[in-house]
Structure 1
Amino acid sequence: MLTKEYLHDIKRLQLLCEANDQITLKLNWDMLQNRETDEKNDFFLYDNNEFIAFLGLYGFGNKAEICGMVKPEYRRKGIFSKLLDEALEVCKTRKYKEVLLNAPAASATAKSFLKAIPCEHSSTEYQMKWSFMELHEEKDVLIRTSLTDQDLKAEIQLDISCFDFMEDEAVDYNRRIRKDGNQQFFIIESDEKIVGKIRVAHEGKEARIYGFLFFLNFREKELEE
């Protein structure tokens, strides 16, 4: 588990890099704050007690996501490549089927790095920001807190269906994310049947939505209508 000192150093470097590069880094703070004590997922480097580089490895079932940063004046010295090599060795040991390198679209440094290594574009993520508006209640849709074992089983099945997790991977993933006391887990029902789930993580003054999933047959129903 990362100590408060390490978390403070990571946050300070993140703010510095974001301000310097005019970007937003996705460091999955909900996972950083709840690391397994027996797993190596974080790689960092100090120079004379100065925290200069960080790379985080985040496992999602049979996939791993990687995101990191290097202090601007220490870039182009092979530091990130060294941390990435260490992380990829861990990925091989855990037999991940896919490794995703998360790179901000506005980062010139990230683009240059990705062009120099064997990889290909996989997907694009967008961050949406809530603007206040009046909501119209859907009478046949209910969002409630996930409470029962049956609710948990449904959430696991949603991860298997939507994220291609194996069952043991989905069970382990849901076990880990429930250790975070800053998250809330909700079940979505329609006509008194579980059709989806949603997770809300509170980070400071912000709340972020994750794992907004629906069973395939319900999505097909919506498309037909």
Structure 2
Amino acid sequence: MLTKEQLQQVKELQTVCEKVGGFQLKLNEDMLETRNEESKEDFFHYEDGRLVGFLGCYGFGNKVEMTGMVHPDYPRKGIFKKLFSAAVAEVKKQENTTILLNAPSTSQSAKKFLNRIPCTFEVAEYQMKWEAGELHDDPAVTIRPSTSQEDFEAEIQLEVACFGFTEQEARNFNQRMKELNSEDMFIIEAEGQTAGKIRVSETNGEAWIYGFAVSRELQGKGIGRKALSKVVKIESEKGLPVFLEVEARNAHALKLYESCGFRSYHSQDYYKYES
């Protein structure tokens, strides 16, 4: 687990890099704050006692996403290459793991690094913020906390059906999420039956929506829009801005989010590392 001092150093470095670079880094703060002590997922580089380089790894099933940064005062010193090599060596201890490198779409320094290593473009992802829009409040669709083993098993099957996880990957991932207890996990019900799931993370005065899924056989019935509306209403009434992420190639989800009042404000690119 990262110490408060380390978290503060990472945030300070992030602020400098984003200000100079004119982009936003995706550092998954909620995951940084709830690290597993048994895993080595964060890599640091110091110069004269000052944090000038950082790389974080984030596991999602059989995929590990990597995001990092180097202070703009320390360019072309091989710092990020060193961090990346150490992270890859650690991840390779796991079997059948895909490494995805995450970079802001507008970051020129990231593109230069990616051009020097064996990788291929995988997908673009939009960050979206709820601005305004009609919220559909239908009592036939409800959300409630995920509490039972039955709820847990339903979440597993939704991960497998909607996100391409294997059952074991989904089980491991969801078990870790529950143990970390860093996000609120909800079950979506339609007419009293389990229809989907959604997670909400409240971090640094913001609400982020993750893991939003509706059973395939129930899609296209407006259940997702109504459930999403309820979550947005709950969080916005707390005074929190509401955000989510969606892959650019997921046209159906993108259309749904836009119809609920979400607007894209930033994008991230993902590259698959060909080790």
TM-score class normalised by the smaller sequence: over 0.9
Q: 2:57 is matched with which residue?
A: 57
Write the distance in 1 (CA, Å) between the matches of 2:221 and 2:134.
Answer: 26
The answer to whether 1:73 aligns with 2:73 is yes
Report the alpha carbon displacement of residue 182 of structure 1 after superposing the two structures with TM: 4.3
Q: Matched residue of 1:122: which SS? A: strand
Give the letter for the 1:10 counterpart.
V
Report the alpha carbon displacement of residue 180 of structure 1 after superposing the two structures with TM: 4.0
Write the distance in 2 (CA, Å) between the matches of 1:96 and 1:33.
Answer: 27
Q: 2:115 is matched with which residue?
A: 115
Report the alpha carbon displacement of residue 181 of structure 1 after superposing the two structures with TM: 4.3
Q: 1:204 is matched with which residue?
A: 204
RMSD between aligned residues: 1.7
Write the distance in 2 (CA, Å) between the matches of 1:180 and 1:110.
Answer: 31
Q: Matched residue of 2:130: which SS? A: coil
Q: 1:24 is matched with which residue?
A: 24
Matches within 5 A, 1:106-185: 106-185=106-185
The answer to whether 1:46 aligns with 2:36 is no
* Contact map agreement 1:142 1:189 (CA 8 A) in 2: yes
Write the distance in 1 (CA, Å) between the matches of 2:75 and 2:177.
Answer: 33
TM-score relative to the length of structure 2: 0.77
Report the alpha carbon displacement of residue 139 of structure 1 after superposing the two structures with TM: 3.7
Report the alpha carbon displacement of residue 134 of structure 1 after superposing the two structures with TM: 4.1
Give the letter for the 1:163 counterpart.
F
Q: 2:7 is matched with which residue?
A: 7
Q: 2:218 is matched with which residue?
A: 218
Report the alpha carbon displacement of residue 50 of structure 1 after superposing the two structures with TM: 0.6
Report the alpha carbon displacement of residue 173 of structure 1 after superposing the two structures with TM: 1.1
Q: 2:83 is matched with which residue?
A: 83
Report the alpha carbon displacement of residue 136 of structure 1 after superposing the two structures with TM: 2.4
Q: Matched residue of 1:34: which SS? A: coil
Write the distance in 2 (CA, Å) between the matches of 1:214 and 1:124.
Answer: 22
Q: Give CA deviations for 1:108-130 in whole Å, capped at 9, x if unaligned.
A: 11111111211111111111111
Give unmatched runs, 5+ long, in structure 1.
none
Write the distance in 2 (CA, Å) between the matches of 1:73 and 1:122.
Answer: 30
Q: Give CA deviations for 1:153-187 in whole Å, capped at 9, x if unaligned.
A: 11111112222222222222112222444421111
Give unmatched runs, 5+ long, in structure 2.
223-251, 253-275
Q: 2:95 is matched with which residue?
A: 95
Write the distance in 1 (CA, Å) between the matches of 2:89 and 2:51.
Answer: 23
Give the letter for the 1:99 counterpart.
I
* Contact map agreement 1:34 1:179 (CA 8 A) in 2: no
Q: Matched residue of 2:123: which SS? A: coil
Report the alpha carbon displacement of residue 217 of structure 1 after superposing the two structures with TM: 2.0
1:97–1:221 distance in 2 versus 1, CA, 3 Å: farther
Larger relative contact order, structure 1 or 2 (CA cutoff 8 Å, min sep 6): 2
Q: Give CA deviations for 1:30-66 in whole Å, capped at 9, x if unaligned.
A: 1111111111000010011010000001111111100
* Contact map agreement 1:31 1:177 (CA 8 A) in 2: no
Q: Give CA deviations for 1:189-217 in whole Å, capped at 9, x if unaligned.
A: 12322121111101111111111112222
